[in-house]
Structure 1
Amino acid sequence: MALLRKLSRPLFLPPVLHSRPLQNIILIASCLILLIFFLYSLREPEPTQLLPYQIYPQTNDSIHHTVTEFLPASVETGKDSTRELCDSFPKHVLSRIQPVLKTGHGDNKEKLNAQMDSTSACFTPDELIIFSDLDEKIRDHHAIDILAHLPSAHYNATTFKMWEEYLAQKEMQANGVLDTAAQVKHINGWALDKFKFLPMMERAWAMKPNRDFYVFYETDTYIFWDNLFRFLQTYNPDANAYIGSPSPGRRDPKRGDQGTLFANGGPGYVISRGAMKTLLQRTTGPYGQYTDDPLSVKFSYLNHDDECCGDSVLGWVLWELGIPMHGHWPMFSDYGLHDIPFNDQHWCQPLITLHKTSPKDMVDLFSWEFSQRKSQRPLLFSDVWEFHKPGTVPSRENWDGGRFDAFEPPAEVVIESSEQCSRACSDDVGCLQWKWEGRDRKKCTLLRSLQHGRARKAEKGDGDEEAWVDYTSGWVDEHIKEWRKKQDCGIVKWVGASVERKF
């Protein structure tokens, strides 16, 4: 029995631990350790280390003296043929600056014809790259189907439902029913547009490598080439430059939800050689093989159905690679010619691009521009004012004079007619023009800038089938003359990079 009592104690405990109080201490300590581990597991996770904010380029306006590359600088207005006008185009510049037109088979044909008769009129098929969503002829040019070689992931209809538009278009082309009475489906070209941007970068470089700058523009973009060539003289092509008109993009969670900007494709944008190399660069292993995918594969996941636009995708990719955009609005302008608000910001500054100008205005502006160039200074907004000369007539009926820089008359002023609206503008020294929306609406709008506007007949108002509205616009000659006297365009300033200024 004594032996059994001796063996009843745990054999693995050393004699010093046979004490009951000491065992209790060990038990309590073990419980405390377990409790500490449990509480530690419930702690708030360490915050993710955020990347530093990226700084957008901010530069002062510059007064670089530039000289035209066109010879002669201006051409007589009597020369009507495109060939005669294009004889003065500086083709040697195209060895450094590559124009790239993005279009689509479904683009409005009137706009496309206007593009080929204006901005793109002076380029031979070898000089201009045209990317589209279908292989086809546009005049003497070959439009390249830039979507034809995208990765197979795009054929996953669950992820990329919009890709079905491309497949349907290709099938109709193969069956010979595209653009015929037998075509049963309208192709949504806008749905295909966003897929083009990344492969365009790869193909443009492959076709015309090592250009100083690549200028990407669209069917409804108008480019003042002389001004663009002058402006690009102020940039180092080997720097990471991504230039255009800024639009709000996605937010960056890795940088504290910092907002990002991208260059709106409509006014056109420029990517330097340095930025193109960064964009297309791939990593290699120790024996020279690539260890990552090419650009259009690597970032193809961004083109999902919830993403609105390809220019936004491109801007985000450049942002991820450390290339925030250079915002040069209003030189890269979202305005159509009829929309330009001539004011202090749009008078003594050079104008490089326009967007959504009417087809007729694009063609007419192209011919007019050739007679307006000056050797020693670029074309300014004030020069372009001469095209329509808004403000040289007192008023126009059935005319919408514009919407920018608008403000309301004082609340205490009762306005029931276009005459009273005109008087309200005359009584305010800051008002240059007015717009009256009559009939059932009876609304007076005053504007602090000069705008040409557009013809607009009476129409039914939004949301009320019984309400009608007509439009009358007018300008205050005395105020306009006073404002113009204050403008001094003796020193031309190229607008510096800024993200504070945007459309």
Structure 2
Amino acid sequence: MPHFTPTRALVVLTSFVLLGFLWTRGLPHQYAGPALPALTHLAEPVVDNVGNGGKEHGKGTSTPPKTKIAPVPTKAADVSSEKSCKEARGAQHVMVVVRTSRAGVESGLPPHLLKLLACAHHVLIFSDHAGETNGYPIHDALHLTPNTTMAKHAEFVEYDKMQADKNHKPTLDKANALDKWKWLPMVYTTATIAPNHRFYMFVEPDTSLSWTNLLQWLDRLDYRIPYYSGVPNTVDDTRYAQHGPGIMLSYGALQQYWPRYEELYASDWEPQVATACCGDVVLARAMKQAQIEFYSSFGLLDPEMPSNLIWGQKFWCTPVVSWHHLPRADADLLWDTQEAWARKHGWAKPWTHHDAYETFVKEQLAEQKEDWDNVSSDTQLVADKGRRERLTHQKQPTNATPHGSKDTQAPSNPAKRDEALDTLVQAAADSPASCRAMCLQTDDCLQWKHNTAGDGTCHLGKALRLGGKVATPDKAARWTSGWMLDRVGRLAEEWGRCERVEWKFNQ
């Protein structure tokens, strides 16, 4: 038998092709998951420097301490509803950091925030002065700012007055001018005096947190990953986390932040603060230079109140971790609702936007509400100038559907159908009833609002929003709003009861 046959030649050729492919593409392998940063050490806590008027950055940095952080948590069974908020799973690993001002704490912290702080094992409060409020010490966030910097910027005149006179209370505007200077040293001081916590939630006095949802969210994350997370916004080319709904930083993030702060604050970061609009924007730039990635938590953290939020399917089954700018009554209602929820369901069942809709919105929707603006804004129909005066000299049109009626059948003849629609459009701004009739005849309209100013305006909305009461001392410019309750009800049913919760993160 010959040594070289066509079959053997084919085998040899196939082998060379396969070897060439493997040489080019590499051998098959399992792709690795994202690498976790090494757990290095943080700077020695500088507790004695807080509020002592020190003015130097990066001077006298102490040796790193030994960290005492437990391993990454694993998911556990539901925590009993009999547990208190302080005993809830993960509570001992979270530091709540509050940023405020003397003007902001003049009458003490708001009740909803005091209830939150009572649940937290670890609390830090930073302001533009050192002192105390509601039994909590207040740390001066500006104590590291050099005297030379203060001398250059007019906003520090108020700071000097507060240092000289403990009873001096700046106006809210003057206090707000100092806010942007607080962020960078506040985060640095937090890292140095409280280095060994897994997560840090930075909030404002008007931030409303769901404690149970916050703990459940953080329990899903690895604290060693450098997380810088919040509701995204953009200024120029900087994508940053808005401070109002809260900013979450992980242990891994603070570990990378503090050495870069010591290295870059005086030479690079501080000049940026001077020209920046806001402290949270400068914080984002500092995080980027510290190689800490931004993670969007929009949907979990809400920059709007329930009344301003657009309610829809996208975040319907997403848990609510925070709101911003809640009125006092709503903030108290949120906390009371969350307490009742935890008593009933325990500390491992999240409270979703669907539940928030049931609590804050559903019962306030109506066929018609006087002196109410529901923020309908998709279509605006403005009456022709002089229409109201002309109508007073002739019989009112009767095409408007009466208030409370159901959808009416359109004429079968296309020409008559178009004529009827044109008549509805022309009359839409005449009255609340005619505006509602226009919404009824618009398939995707969920709500409407009418204003009597001028010759009248009708606004139609295909997005579901609640809005709020408006003062109308001038009856010539009165708002009336309404919702298509049948359509809204059908949509809410379609969106579901949220048997499966969606923890949308960094999407």
Cα shift at 1:279: 0.7
Does residue 343 of structure 1 match 2:353?
no
Query: What TM-score do the two structures reach when normalised by structure 1?
Result: 0.70
Does residue 71 of structure 1 match 2:81?
yes
Does residue 378 of structure 1 match 2:350?
yes
Match of 1:98 in 2: 95
Supply the AA of the counterpart residue of 2:492.
Answer: R
Supply the AA of the counterpart residue of 2:354.
Answer: S
Cα shift at 1:110: 7.0
Q: Distance in 2 between matches of 1:119 and 1:131?
A: 16
State which of 140, 151, 161 in structure 2 corresponds to 1:145.
140
Counterpart mapping for 1:164-203 below 5 A: 164-173=157-166, 176=167, 178-179=168-169, 188-203=174-189
Does residue 327 of structure 1 match 2:300?
no
Supply the AA of the counterpart residue of 1:163.
Answer: F
Question: Cα deviation per residue 1:279-320 (whole Å; 9 max; x = unaligned)?
Answer: 11259xxxxxxxx6475775222211x311100000011112
Does residue 280 of structure 1 match 2:258?
yes
Does the Cα contact within 8 Å between 1:377 and 1:492 map onto a contact in 2?
Answer: no
Q: Distance in 1 between matches of 2:135 and 2:272?
A: 34
Cα shift at 1:409: 5.1
The secondary structure found in structure 1 opposite 2:181 is coil
State which of 388, 412, 432 in structure 2 corresponds to 1:418.
432
State which of 246, 270, 273 in structure 2 corresponds to 1:300.
270
State which of 354, 359, 374 in structure 2 corresponds to 1:387.
359
Cα shift at 1:340: 2.3
The secondary structure found in structure 1 opposite 2:504 is coil
Task: Give the superposed CA RMSD.
Answer: 2.9
Cα shift at 1:218: 0.5
Question: Cα deviation per residue 1:314-341 (whole Å; 9 max; x = unaligned)?
Answer: 0011112222310121211101132222
Cα shift at 1:172: 4.1
Query: What TM-score do the two structures reach when normalised by structure 2?
Result: 0.70
Does the Cα contact within 8 Å between 1:267 and 1:333 map onto a contact in 2?
Answer: yes
Cα shift at 1:94: 3.7
Give structure 1 regions of 4+ aligned residues with deviation exceeding 4 angstroms.
64-70, 108-111, 294-298, 409-412
Supply the AA of the counterpart residue of 2:155.
Answer: M
Supply the AA of the counterpart residue of 2:369.
Answer: R
Match of 1:469 in 2: 477
Cα shift at 1:144: 1.3
Supply the AA of the counterpart residue of 1:371.
Answer: A
Supply the AA of the counterpart residue of 2:259.
Answer: Q
Match of 1:402 in 2: 375
Cα shift at 1:171: 3.5
Match of 1:316 in 2: 285
The secondary structure found in structure 2 opposite 1:322 is coil
State which of 446, 471, 491 in structure 2 corresponds to 1:457.
471
Evaluate the alpha carbon distance shift between residue 110 and residue 245 of structure 1 in structure 2; reply closer, same or farther with a 3 A threshold: farther
Does the Cα contact within 8 Å between 1:151 and 1:297 map onto a contact in 2?
Answer: no
Question: Cα deviation per residue 1:175-194 (whole Å; 9 max; x = unaligned)?
Answer: x4x24xxx8x7761110111
Does the Cα contact within 8 Å between 2:104 and 2:172 map onto a contact in 1?
Answer: no
Match of 1:29 in 2: none
Evaluate the alpha carbon distance shift between residue 110 and residue 395 of structure 1 in structure 2; reply closer, same or farther with a 3 A threshold: farther
Supply the AA of the counterpart residue of 1:200.
Answer: M
Does residue 493 of structure 1 match 2:502?
yes
Cα shift at 1:479: 0.5
Q: Structure 2 unaligned runs (5+)?
A: 1-33, 35-73, 383-421
Q: Distance in 1 between matches of 2:105 and 2:459?
A: 33
Q: Distance in 2 between matches of 1:349 and 1:225?
A: 15
Q: Structure 1 unaligned runs (5+)?
A: 1-56, 58-63, 74-86, 252-259, 284-291, 461-466, 499-503
Does the Cα contact within 8 Å between 2:306 and 2:361 map onto a contact in 1?
Answer: no
State which of 269, 281, 286 in structure 1 corresponds to 2:247.
269
Evaluate the alpha carbon distance shift between residue 334 and residue 441 of structure 1 in structure 2; reply closer, same or farther with a 3 A threshold: farther
Does residue 133 of structure 1 match 2:120?
no
Match of 1:207 in 2: 193
Q: Distance in 1 between matches of 2:458 and 2:108?
A: 33
Match of 1:356 in 2: 325
Match of 2:441 in 1: 427
Aligned pair count reads 387
Match of 2:49 in 1: none
Does the Cα contact within 8 Å between 1:72 and 1:88 map onto a contact in 2?
Answer: no
State which of 491, 496, 501 in structure 2 corresponds to 1:483.
491
Does the Cα contact within 8 Å between 1:339 and 1:453 map onto a contact in 2?
Answer: yes
Supply the AA of the counterpart residue of 1:362.
Answer: A
Does the Cα contact within 8 Å between 1:238 and 1:274 map onto a contact in 2?
Answer: yes
Evaluate the alpha carbon distance shift between residue 113 and residue 99 of structure 1 in structure 2; reply closer, same or farther with a 3 A threshold: same
Q: Distance in 2 between matches of 1:103 and 1:245?
A: 20
Q: Distance in 2 between matches of 1:216 and 1:108?
A: 17
Residues 101-110 or 351-360, more deviating:
101-110
Q: Distance in 1 between matches of 2:155 and 2:489?
A: 53
Does the Cα contact within 8 Å between 1:425 and 1:431 map onto a contact in 2?
Answer: yes
State which of 113, 116, 130 in structure 2 corresponds to 1:116.
113
Does the Cα contact within 8 Å between 1:338 and 1:357 map onto a contact in 2?
Answer: no
Q: Distance in 1 between matches of 2:123 and 2:432?
A: 49
Supply the AA of the counterpart residue of 1:215.
Answer: M
Cα shift at 1:70: 6.6
Evaluate the alpha carbon distance shift between residue 348 and residue 300 of structure 1 in structure 2; reply closer, same or farther with a 3 A threshold: same
Cα shift at 1:396: 1.4
Question: Cα deviation per residue 1:428-448 (whole Å; 9 max; x = unaligned)?
Answer: 232222222223372222223
Identical pairs, percent? 22
Does the Cα contact within 8 Å between 2:307 and 2:361 map onto a contact in 1?
Answer: no
The secondary structure found in structure 2 opposite 1:128 is strand
Evaluate the alpha carbon distance shift between residue 338 and residue 317 of structure 1 in structure 2; reply closer, same or farther with a 3 A threshold: same
Counterpart mapping for 1:45-64 below 5 A: none
